[in-house]
Amino acid sequence: MTRYLPNHLVALIAGGLLPLSFAPFHFYPLAVVSLALLFFTWTSVNAKQAARLGFLFGLGFFGVGVSWVYVAIHDFGQANIFIAGLLTALFVGFLSLYLAALGWAIKKLSPNDLTSQDYVLLLPVAWLVFEWFKGWFLTGFPWLEVGIGQLDGPLSGYTPVISALGVSLLTTVSAGLLLVAIQKKVLWPVLVLMAIWFCGQTLKSQQWTQPVDEPIKISIIQGNVPQAIKWDRDQLFKTLALYRARTEENWDSDLIIWPENAVTVFYHQAKDFFLDPLNKLAAENNTEILLGLPVLNQELDEYYNSMMLLGRNEAFYSKRHLVPFGEYIPFEWLRGLIAFFHLPMSSFSSGTGPGEIINIAGQPVGISICYEDVFSTEILESLPEASLLINASNNAWYGDSFAPPQHLQISQNRALEMGRPILRATTNGISALIDFKGKLVEKAPQFEEAVLTVNAQPRVGSTPYVSYGQWPLWLLSLLMMLVWAYHRRVASMKSQVS
């Protein structure tokens, strides 16, 4: 037990360092150091010990990285400190089990001391499978993909080619190369590492898509309505008056965007007294309004988290990928246990069908609502047809935590992957225009009422990722595993001969 105690501390600390590579810290090289430390702890242990070390790494990683879950449950979910702490701990512990399983599986595949081939080939592919599985299992939670945090570094040059998930693979390869160079005291891993990062930096100057038509003037309204009173009946008319007033000040824009669920009554309830007059005004001023509101299907008795377009055209988009325990409760018997499981609008139904392209301000636009843009392959469904992307969110649930800047960084990676600008409209920040390179052009201050007026340049064409999806990434992973298996077989034959 005492023999492995230092490893336990190293794993826990290394896990706690990894979130610092993401927003709002942006210390992207720490991801390589953190993963190299994890790989080091797995070097000379058995499968059971590797599972324990992986779990501890996960406690540090997710305990820091998704600490904002506590804010949502306690500050806005009306749960007391004990319940909020317990639910957060359970969530962090559950995610940490993934890394425990990862460590166990790696040591089952390579039960002896890990080799250079294990560090550079096996462990990176295993990490990739972990991130993919985490983003798929139980509807998925792809938050904190390691590649997302590399946005400001050289490896982001690969993002339009093999996606942020592919950059996760290259980050773990870099960690393996660093560890080999330190342990073996050889030069070749350093040269390979430098080559990978140099090529990534070179790729950053590549423009995969092209501008089309004239820039579109767009106003994003950030109402900053407090989450605690957002759904109160007494607040409804104040909220509607606020958004309408800010809208009427910006009739010269081609498009005006309101955030997710800016309108806090159903479409059919607001249609006659608010939406129809607003629609008429927008058409008279030759502009369009994209606003968030719940829509009730009275025949099916289902309601949807939707975005509605008013003005020259009228269209709807309904959110397809809902947040478990936030927008729907997977197990309805939980609903009566604590207040957090009985939040306003926590029984949404999923929209159906693939991502729909909506013509807005003369351009085909792909729309996502809040959590949906965390799922890269779902945003991919609107490409290459869409020339602009819009994400409407309500990050007010997470207060002044890591979640809003982390979500903004995720959106920046989506823009870079797709080669399209993204417009983010949020309740209280961080609203922004992100260009096709994933760079912030302008952003609104957080926790303030603001109107962000920008000129967004539509773009056409396809990045390699848009053209081929994740197939090149998985083929590369297969090749890496074949090379690993070959080296392992050769090593085994040499061992038998000796």
| Distance separating the N- and C-terminal Cα atoms of the chain | 34
Q: What letter represents residue 419's amino acid?
A: G
The reply to whether 260 belongs to the active site is yes
φ and ψ of 332, to 5 deg: -60, -25
Q: Report how far residue 441's alpha carbon sits from residue 140's, in angstroms, rounded to the nearest whole number.
A: 30
Q: How far apart are CA 202 and CA 155, in angstroms?
A: 10
**291 pairs with which residues across the strands?**
308
To the query of whether residue 238 is one of the catalytic residues in this protein, the response is no
330 and 301 in contact (C-beta within 8 Å)? Answer: no
User: What gap in Å lies between CA 402 and CA 254, rounded to an integer?
Assistant: 33
Q: Are 396 and 420 in contact (CB under 8 A)?
A: no
Please state, in angstroms and rounded to a whole number, the distance separating the CA atoms of residues 400 and 107. 40
370 included as an active-site residue: yes
H helix or E strand, kind and range, residue 123: helix 123-134
Q: Which of 107, 134, 230, 319 is catalytic?
A: 319
Residues contacting residue 25 through CB under 8 Å, at least 6 positions apart: 19
Query: Residue 367 — φ and ψ, nearest 5°?
Result: -115, 140
Which of 131, 260, 288, 372 is catalytic? The answer is: 260
Cα 54 to the chain's mean position, in Å? 23
Q: By C-alpha distance, which of 422, 455, 451 is closest to 439? A: 422
Choice among 230, 370, 372, 417 that is catalytic: 370
Can you tell me the distance from the alpha carbon of 146 to that of 19, in angstroms, rounded to the nearest whole number? 9
Residues labelled as active-site residues: 260, 319, 370
